[in-house]
């Protein structure tokens, strides 16, 4: 391996999150091994989205096979390339539709995690909004030749905002949306931070009643369960207008949709997902990409999964030619994550050892043979299906590295063959810390 150059901050974050068994938020590209084809297919989607076409992918794999990892990877790549990304995890309170505003809860989560290259921790909404307003401002300056502090400039910008909003097709509540943008502009010009933050809250869907919205902004509508997806599409168009390449939405833990117990609600959610799929595949949405991570059961269970609905089956089932020739096809909407091969796992462990050594400043002494021994020991103790969950292997390996680094007296072979070495079996997970790390699927 060539000498890696990683900043201390990133390598520390990597080691900590991997040691805890969660997917790190930064630095995933350094440990991306074995998913080149899947990544290439997703990068092709990114190019399509930059061109204006939309994309919808499923990332399907079992527990621990690396779905969240791949989602983080594509999220970071997309951010680097100039996309706006937003990610959210489904949960019992966050779905696509429901009777208790579960849909708009997902939207809120997405909006609060809206990120770009210069705002990687969420908070890109204000950049998008200001970028869009700035475009209008510049047009007004060009057309009328006025400068910002002249009389009548603010009114010109307001009327231009109204004009542009009128031209947006399929916009529900166009007039009220325009009023929200104008409220932000006014708040900016008059240094009224309350108005600005009220406008941001409205756009993030944080107003729960129309009365609140009317009191704060004077608009009579709020973003609710029926309209949040339209606003996602609108934002995709916006970000393309102001110079970003497009909007990428990543939703993970789709298994929560599978676990909805009432059939009616579940079907409602699946139908909403189908509507989103159709929109993107038929290019009724522009510059929008949606990637959904879920388990195989979520997709293929004939009674409760997506395949229970014929429409989904037709759209996502593997073509029979693929099954015949046993070749993985990467052009369909479903990306099935195959388990990593042993060689790939060894490469991954090698990289991890290098990063650990670089971070703590020592020379890495583990050989390839040591790593092979480690993998063999895992297989001996947990069976061959341990190879299906690279996340657990990584966590155990990180703990081994930490122990070796802190107690230089212990030899590697001794440690892994000793009786105290208890690799984590699949299904048991340590307490995960949600702060700053992506969630690992259960």
Which residues contact other proteins by CB under 8 A? Answer: 7, 116-121, 123, 126-127, 130-131, 133-134, 137-138, 141, 147-149, 188, 191
CB distance 440 to 23 below 8 Å: yes
Minimal distance, residue 148 CB to other proteins, in Å: 4
Q: Which of residues 147 and 303 has its CB atom nearest to other proteins in the complex?
A: 147
For the CB of residue 244, give the shortest distance to other proteins in the complex, in Å. Answer: 11
| Least distance in angstroms from the C-beta of 143 to other proteins | 13
Nearer to other proteins, 124 or 349 (CB): 124
Closest to other proteins by CB, 7 vs 368, is 7
Contact 266, 260 (CB under 8 A): yes
Q: What is the nearest approach in angstroms of other proteins to the Cβ of residue 127?
A: 5
The residue assigned the tokens 């060689």 is 343
Q: Judged by CB, which is closer to other proteins: 96, or 128? A: 128
CB of 40 to other proteins, least distance (A): 25
Cα angle for residues 60, 283, 312 (degrees, 5° grid) = 40
CB of 113 to other proteins, least distance (A): 13
Q: Which is nearer to other proteins, 200 or 355 (CB)?
A: 200
Measured CA to CA in angstroms, residue 249 lies from 3, 9, 60, 218, 433 at distances of: 34, 27, 16, 30, 23
Distance CA 195, CA 198 (A): 5
Q: Shortest distance, CB of residue 137 to other proteins, whole angstroms?
A: 6
Q: Give Cα 236 to chain centroid, integer Å.
A: 15
Which residues fall within 8 angstroms of residue 127, CB to CB, at 6 or more apart? 116, 118, 119
Question: Taking Cα atoms as reference points, which of 11, 52, 54 lies closest to residue 30?
Answer: 11
- Tell me how far, at minimum, the Cβ of 415 lies from other proteins, in Å: 36
**112 and 62 in contact (C-beta within 8 Å)?**
no
Report the candidate in 71, 44, 143, 58 with the shortest Cα–Cα distance to residue 316: 58
The smaller minimum CB distance to other proteins, of residues 116 and 227, is found at 116
Residue 66: CA count within 13 A, CB half-sphere = 26
DSSP string, 175-230: HHHHHHHHHHHHHHHTT-HHHHHHHHHHHTT---SHHHHHHHHS-S----TTTHHH
Closest CB to other proteins among residues 126, 322: 126
Q: Which two tokens stand for residue 61?
A: 């794999």
For residue 70, which of 250, 277, 333, 236 has the smallest C-alpha distance?
250
> Would you say 130 or 439 has its CB closer to other proteins?
130
CB of 416 to other proteins, least distance (A): 37
Residue among 309, 326, 391, 437 at smallest CA distance from 65: 391
Nearer to other proteins by Cβ, of 242 and 274: the residue is 242
CA atoms of 93 and 103, how far apart (whole Å): 9
């Amino acid at each position: 391996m060539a000498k890696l150059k990683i900043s201390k901050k990133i390598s520390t974050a990597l080691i900590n999150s991997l040691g805890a068994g969660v997917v790190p938020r930064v630095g995933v590209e350094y440990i991306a091994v074995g998913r080149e084809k899947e990544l290439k297919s997703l990068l092709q989607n990114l190019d399509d989205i930059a061109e204006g076409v939309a994309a919808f992918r499923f990332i399907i794999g079992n527990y621990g096979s690396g779905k969240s990892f791949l989602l983080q990877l594509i999220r970071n790549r997309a951010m680097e390339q100039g996309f706006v990304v937003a990610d959210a995890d489904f949960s019992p309170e966050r779905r696509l539709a429901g009777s208790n505003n579960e849909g708009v809860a997902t939207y809120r989560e997405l909006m609060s995690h809206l990120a770009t290259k210069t705002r990687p921790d969420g908070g890109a909404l204000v950049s998008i909004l200001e970028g869009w307003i700035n475009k209008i401002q510049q047009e007004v300056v060009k057309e009328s030749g006025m400068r910002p502090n002249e009389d009548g400039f603010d009114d010109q910008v307001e009327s231009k905002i109204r004009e542009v909003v009128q031209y947006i097709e399929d916009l529900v509540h166009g007039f009220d949306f325009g009023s929200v943008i104008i409220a932000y502009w006014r708040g900016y010009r008059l240094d009224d931070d309350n108005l600005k933050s009220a406008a941001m809250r409205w756009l993030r869907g944080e107003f729960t009643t129309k009365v609140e919205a009317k009191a704060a902004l004077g608009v009579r509508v709020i973003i609710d369960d029926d309209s949040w997806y339209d606003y996602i599409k609108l934002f995709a168009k916006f970000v393309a207008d102001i110079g970003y390449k497009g909007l990428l939405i990543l939703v993970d833990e789709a298994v929560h949709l599978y676990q909805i117990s009432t059939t009616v609600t579940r079907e409602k959610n699946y139908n909403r997902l189908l509507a989103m799929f159709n929109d993107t595949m038929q290019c009724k949405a522009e510059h929008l990409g949606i990637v959904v991570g879920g388990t195989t059961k979520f997709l293929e269970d004939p009674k409760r999964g997506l395949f229970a609905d014929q429409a989904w089956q037709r759209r996502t089932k593997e073509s029979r030619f693929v099954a015949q020739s046993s070749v993985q096809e990467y052009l369909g909407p479903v990306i099935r994550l195959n388990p990593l091969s042993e060689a790939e796992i060894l490469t991954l462990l090698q990289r991890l050892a290098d990063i650990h050594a670089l971070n703590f400043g020592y020379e890495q002494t583990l050989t390839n043979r040591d790593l092979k021994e480690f993998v063999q020991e895992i297989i001996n103790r947990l069976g061959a299906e341990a190879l299906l969950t690279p996340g657990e292997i990584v966590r155990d390996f990180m703990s081994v590295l930490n122990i070796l680094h802190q107690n230089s007296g212990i030899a590697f072979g001794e440690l892994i063959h000793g009786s105290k070495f208890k690799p984590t079996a699949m299904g048991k997970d340590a307490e995960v810390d949600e702060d700053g790390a992506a969630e690992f699927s259960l």
